Structure formats: structure tokens, C-alpha cells
């Protein structure tokens, strides 16, 4: 069995309702049928309408960018995993570096979120990755290991099997400074080795590991051709249909 290749768009806090509708319409028009999965991770307000626009396209899937760790309750302004599922989301990004940084999301909190998401039957796209200072110090492997151990490696294998991992070096996100294909491959191979140690080689071979951080139409092909890079989590370039579809076509 070949592992699933995925290109996921992370719109972040961009696009009004109308702009979002236009973007999805353009993506649907340009996208060719393929075996690779495409996931659109939109702001909450778009989920319902995007679900309707993509329902007949078998390789297009819907995702959110965050959810609360509790199932329900008095958490004003928050959105639960069950709510996401009820509008047709299949995926949810957990632990994006912007959530870790601007909303102080800790490894422990992310472990809770992962459990909640899996418990309800959604699929987490779990983000890990180091800041520039850590890369300069040369301790990125230790940091990523700690992030994975804290939030994922407590899972039973059957739950871990549903997780998609996204390696996103923080210094490459939104900066135009992409990791080189060698840097991406090195970290992806390391992550796969950690999974192999914990869950065995077979599970490691089947785990989808995405690269994120200034992936663009002009560098996606080289990144995706690395043996352990199974696709991308795309921020800025997911906001333009032509760029996003060009990245999807880069496998």
C-alpha cells in the first residue's frame, strides 16, 4: 500500500465569505481528477459553503484550522470538533505554530486536542517544527521529537494511524524562505524514523508527512520529489487558485 499524498491549503485568517466562494469555485474549475488528496482548511465561516461546493469532487476534502479541546460547554467564542464534523469537515489542523505562538498552545493542550479530534472521528493534521534560533543552534531534531512525543506518541497505534503530520519550520512560514529539499528530506526521514521506533516500520511507511513553509509552484516539485515528503501544507500560495492548483499538480 502506497501512503496517501496530500496537498492541504491553509487559508489562515483570509477571505471574506464571498471571496472564499470565488476561490473555491476557481479551484474546482481548474483541478484535474487525481488520486492525491486535496484538503481545503478554511476559516470556520466558510466550512458550510465550501462543503456544498466540493461535495461531488472525490479528491477534494474539507478541513478546519483549529478547534477546542472540550466537547462542548461554556467557552464563549470557541468551536468544537463535533461542530466541525456537523458541517462536513474531515480534517482539522492542530498545533500550527501560529496557534502555539500567538495563543500559547502548549504540547499538553495539543495532546488533549488531538484526543478530542480523534475521539469524534476527525483526522488531525498535526504541525511540528522549530523556530530559527533552534535551527541555528542545531537542536531542531530534539525539539520536533519532543513535540511529537508530547502530543502524538501517547496514542494507540490505531489512533495514530489517522494522523497526518506536517513539518513546518517556523522560519520558513510566510517568510519566502523555503527549507531546501535536503533540509526537508532530512527532517522528514528523522520523523519517520521516530515513528518507526515507536510504532514499527510498517506504520512509519504508511504515515503521511507534509512539508509546510513558503511552498510555491516553483519549488513544490522538488520538495515533493523527496522520498519522505508526501505533500504540503500551503499557506500564502493556497489563496490563489492558479498557484494552489499548480502545487497540487507538482507530484
Q: Hey, which residues are catalytic here? A: 96, 168
Locate 112 and state its grid cell. Answer: 488533549
Cα–Cα–Cα angle for 178, 183, 189, nearest 5°? 130
Region from 16-24, 146-154, 230-238, 243-251 binding ligand PGA, contact rule CB under 6 A: 230-238
CB of 220 to ligand PGA, least distance (A): 10
Gap between the Cα atoms of 98 and 103, Å rounded: 7
The correct pick among 214, 224, 228, 244 for binding ligand PGA (CB under 6 A) is: 214
**CA dihedral over 84, 85, 88, 94, signed as positive or negative:** positive
Q: Is 168 in the site for ligand PGA (CB under 6 A)?
A: yes
The correct pick among 125, 234, 245, 248 for binding ligand PGA (CB under 6 A) is: 234
Q: Which residues pair with 211 in a beta bridge?
A: 167, 232
Q: Which residue, 72 or 101, has its beta carbon nearer to ligand PGA?
A: 101
CB of 173 to ligand PGA, least distance (A): 4
Gap between the Cα atoms of 220 and 197, Å rounded: 29
Locate 7 and state its grid cell. Answer: 496537498
Let me know: does 79 contact 44? Beta carbons within 8 Å: yes
CB of 203 to ligand PGA, least distance (A): 25
Q: Which residue, 155 or 237, has its beta carbon nearer to ligand PGA?
A: 237
How far, in whole angstroms, is CA 246 from its chain's centroid? 18
Q: Is 43 in the site for ligand PGA (CB under 6 A)?
A: no
Distances in whole angstroms, Cα of residue 232 to Cα of each of 139, 203, 214: 23, 20, 10
Locate 242 and state its grid cell. Answer: 492558479
CB of 148 to ligand PGA, least distance (A): 17
Let me know: does 63 contact 90? Beta carbons within 8 Å: yes
Q: Is 169 in the site for ligand PGA (CB under 6 A)?
A: no
Q: Is 173 in the site for ligand PGA (CB under 6 A)?
A: yes
Q: Is 105 in the site for ligand PGA (CB under 6 A)?
A: no
CB of 200 to ligand PGA, least distance (A): 29
Locate 43 and state its grid cell. Answer: 476559516
Region from 15-23, 78-86, 105-113, 235-243 binding ligand PGA, contact rule CB under 6 A: 235-243
Which residue spans within the chain are E strands per DSSP? 6-10, 37-41, 60-64, 91-94, 123-128, 164-167, 209-212, 231-234
Identify the residue whose cell numbers are 521506533: 197
Locate 245 and state its grid cell. Answer: 492548483
The correct pick among 43, 124, 169, 212 for binding ligand PGA (CB under 6 A) is: 212
Q: Which residue, 24 or 237, has its beta carbon nearer to ligand PGA?
A: 237
The correct pick among 95, 124, 231, 236 for binding ligand PGA (CB under 6 A) is: 236
Q: Is 243 in the site for ligand PGA (CB under 6 A)?
A: no
Q: Which residues here bind ligand PGA, judged by CB under 6 A? A: 10, 168, 173-174, 212-215, 233-237
Amino acid at each position: 500500500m502506497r501512503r496517501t499524498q496530500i496537498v492541504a491549503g491553509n487559508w489562515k485568517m483570509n477571505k471574506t465569505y464571498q471571496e472564499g466562494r470565488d476561490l473555491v469555485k476557481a479551484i474546482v474549475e481548474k483541478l484535474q481528477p487525481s488520486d492525491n488528496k486535496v484538503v481545503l482548511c478554511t476559516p470556520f465561516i466558510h466550512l458550510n459553503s465550501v462543503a456544498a461546493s466540493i461535495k461531488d469532487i472525490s479528491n477534494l476534502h474539507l478541513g478546519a484550522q483549529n478547534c477546542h479541546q472540550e466537547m462542548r460547554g461554556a467557552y464563549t467564542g470557541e468551536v468544537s470538533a463535533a461542530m466541525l464534523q456537523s458541517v462536513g469537515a474531515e480534517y482539522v489542523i492542530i498545533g500550527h505554530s501560529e496557534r502555539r505562538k500567538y495563543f500559547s498552545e502548549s504540547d499538553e493542550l495539543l495532546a488533549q486536542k488531538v484526543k478530542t479530534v480523534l475521539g469524534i472521528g476527525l483526522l488531525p493534521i498535526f504541525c511540528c517544527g522549530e523556530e530559527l534560533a533552534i535551527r541555528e543552534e542545531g537542536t531542531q531534531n530534539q525539539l520536533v521529537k519532543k513535540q511529537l512525543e508530547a502530543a502524538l506518541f501517547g496514542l494507540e497505534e490505531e489512533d495514530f494511524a489517522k494522523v497526518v503530520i506536517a513539518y513546518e519550520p517556523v522560519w520558513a512560514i510566510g517568510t519566502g524562505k523555503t527549507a531546501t529539499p535536503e533540509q526537508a528530506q532530512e527532517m522528514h526521514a528523522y520523523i519517520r524514523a521516530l515513528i518507526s521506533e515507536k510504532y514499527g516500520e510498517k506504520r512509519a511507511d504508511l504515515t503521511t508527512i507534509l512539508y509546510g513553509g513558503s511552498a510555491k509552484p516553483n519549488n513544490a516539485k522538488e520538495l515533493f520529489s523527496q522520498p519522505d515528503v508526501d505533500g504540503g501544507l500551503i499557506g500564502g500560495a493556497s489563496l490563489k487558485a492558479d498557484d494552489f492548483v499548480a502545487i497540487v499538480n507538482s507530484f
